[in-house]
Amino acid sequence: MAGSQTVAKAARRAPGGIGFFERYLSLWVALCIVVGIALGKLLPGAVHTVSMLELAHVNIPVGILIWVMIIPMLLRIDFASLGKVRTQLRGIGVTLVINWAVKPFTMAFLAWVFVRHAFASLLPADQLDSYVAGLILLAAAPCTAMVFVWSQLTKGDPYFTLSQVALNDLIMVFAFAPVVGLLLGISNIAVPWDTLLTSVVLYIVVPVIIAQLVRRALLRQGEAAFQRALTKIGPFSIAALLLTLVLLFAFQGEQIIAQPVVILLLAVPILIQVVVNASLAYLANRQLGVSHEVAAPSCLIGASNFFELAVATAISLFGLKSGAALATVVGVLIEVPVMLAVVKVVNSSRRWYQRES
């Protein structure tokens, strides 16, 4: 209970809603592209050496960065809040259906339509399967951290936001690998099950356990100490994400220079997926008579992605130089501006929603 109150109070107190680094995330990603490509050109030997630092097919520097990236986000999750799920069953129901029964499958379909057919002649033929895989990975994990920001910007119910994130994260521990494996199989992409399951353990199970242990230790020192720790740790997560992207683009540089249009083409199915899933969730909540402060975070988590996990899994399964890794990074690149647009629509339609629901 104390953990739930901590997050809820923090959400209400935050002055700007979205932090400096988060607000300009697209700019930082763009800078990472430039820096990464430049490093690949200027220091090819050093970049190659870093790429060879592997253990069990996992790049060691990237693996460390991914833990630093994911664990601070998971510190916010209070699994004790799962008891509150039953107070908002309709909103939670919409969230679960969109995130697990709709979102991954619509993305697989959109990837098939655009990557395999509409844009196939404009994309490298040897990377088509990899692009499809990356898009599937991006859609298979519901947003964990940034949804707190989006919820706050729409005056969403902080307790509902916390409970839906906790429930989705719990489901993700068990459902991520089967969903990804199923969709990759349907898409005729070989599923390296051993690597996929290893990724789930490395980037979901272990970080969740570590985060919960650290969370409990910090909360023993009081709510104020916990909030100070979150504030101090937060920038490390963003920094780790950006350093991971620098490495990725250092390896991907030649491909991007040769075909810069790839990023624009991969953004199309991602954008469509955001619009479709956000609209479905918002309208479904309205139809079910769910209050706006619950409907807003319910539709926002369905529109956004746990892109950090997607990047980590894509790198583990297909490598830093893969089209899958690049596809997940496109999701990072457009996440903030697209979600801010969704937030604006949700806020501007508040009166209509409340009048018609």
Q: How many degrees, rounded to 5, is the angle at CA 136 between CA 133 and CA 142?
A: 145
Any domain includes 13: no
Q: Tell me what pLDDT residue 79 has.
A: 81
| Cα dihedral 267→273→276→282 (10° resolution) | -110
Q: Would you place residue 255 in the very low, low, confident or very high pLDDT band (cuts 50, 70, 90)?
A: low
Q: Tell me what pLDDT residue 356 has.
A: 59
Q: What is the rounded distance in angstroms from the CA atom of residue 148 to the CA atom of residue 137?
A: 22
Average of per-residue pLDDT values in the chain? 84
Q: What is the rounded distance in angstroms from the CA atom of residue 251 to the CA atom of residue 39?
A: 9
Any domain includes 258: yes
Its domain, for residue 98, covers 84-354
Please state which of the ranges 57-61, 162-166, 168-172 shows the lowest mean pLDDT.
Answer: 57-61
Any domain includes 270: yes
Q: Tell me what pLDDT residue 213 has.
A: 94
Residue 116 burial (CB count, 10 A): 16
- How far is residue 219 from each of residues 8, 126, 166, 254, measured CA to CA in Å? 15, 50, 17, 47
Any domain includes 121: yes
- At 263-284, the pLDDT tens digits run 899 999 999 999 999 999 999 9
Q: What is the rounded distance in angstroms from the CA atom of residue 250 to the CA atom of residue 181?
A: 29
All residues at 6 or more sequence positions from 238 whose CB lies less than 8 Å from its CB, including other chains: 21, 22, 25, 28
Mean pLDDT in residue range 193-199: 79
Kindly tell me if the per-residue pLDDT of 174 is higher than 70: yes
pTM of the model: 0.78
Residue 222 burial (CB count, 10 A): 12
Q: Tell me what pLDDT residue 8 has.
A: 45
Any domain includes 67: no
Any domain includes 160: yes
Write the CATH number for 337: 1.20.1530.20
All residues at 6 or more sequence positions from 338 whose CB lies less than 8 Å from its CB, including other chains: 270, 271, 274, 303
Kindly tell me if the per-residue pLDDT of 134 is higher than 90: yes
Any domain includes 212: yes
Total number of residues shown for the chain: 357
Percent of the chain topping pLDDT 70: 90
If 0-12 CB within 10 Å is exposed, 13-18 middle and 19+ buried, where does residue 294 land?
A: buried
If 0-12 CB within 10 Å is exposed, 13-18 middle and 19+ buried, where does residue 79 land?
A: middle
Cβ contact 26:337 at 8 Å: yes
- How far is residue 134 from each of residues 14, 82, 140, measured CA to CA in Å? 34, 30, 10
Cβ contact 284:88 at 8 Å: no
Q: Would you place residue 179 in the very low, low, confident or very high pLDDT band (cuts 50, 70, 90)?
A: very high
Specify which residues 305 forms β-bridges with: 142
Q: Which of 277, 292, 275 is nearest to 91 (CA)?
A: 292
Q: What stretch of H or E contains 95?
A: helix 89-96
Cα Rg for the chain, rounded, in angstroms?
A: 20
Q: Who has greater pLDDT, 348 or 193?
A: 348
The number of folded domains in the chain is 1
Residue 72 identity (one-letter amino acid): P
Q: Tell me what pLDDT residue 195 has.
A: 76
Q: Who has greater pLDDT, 289 or 234?
A: 289
Q: Would you place residue 231 in the very low, low, confident or very high pLDDT band (cuts 50, 70, 90)?
A: confident
Q: How far is CA 303 from the centre of its chain?
A: 10
Going through 99-179 in order, the beta strands assigned E by DSSP cover none
**Cα dihedral across residues 25, 108, 319, 254: positive or negative:** negative
Q: What is the DSSP string of 258-300?
A: H-THHHHHHHHHHHHHHHHHHHHHHHHHHHTT--HHHHHHHHH
- At 41-94, the pLDDT tens digits run 898 888 888 878 877 666 788 888 888 888 887 888 888 777 777 778 999 999
Any domain includes 92: yes
Cβ contact 88:285 at 8 Å: no
Q: Tell me what pLDDT residue 123 has.
A: 92
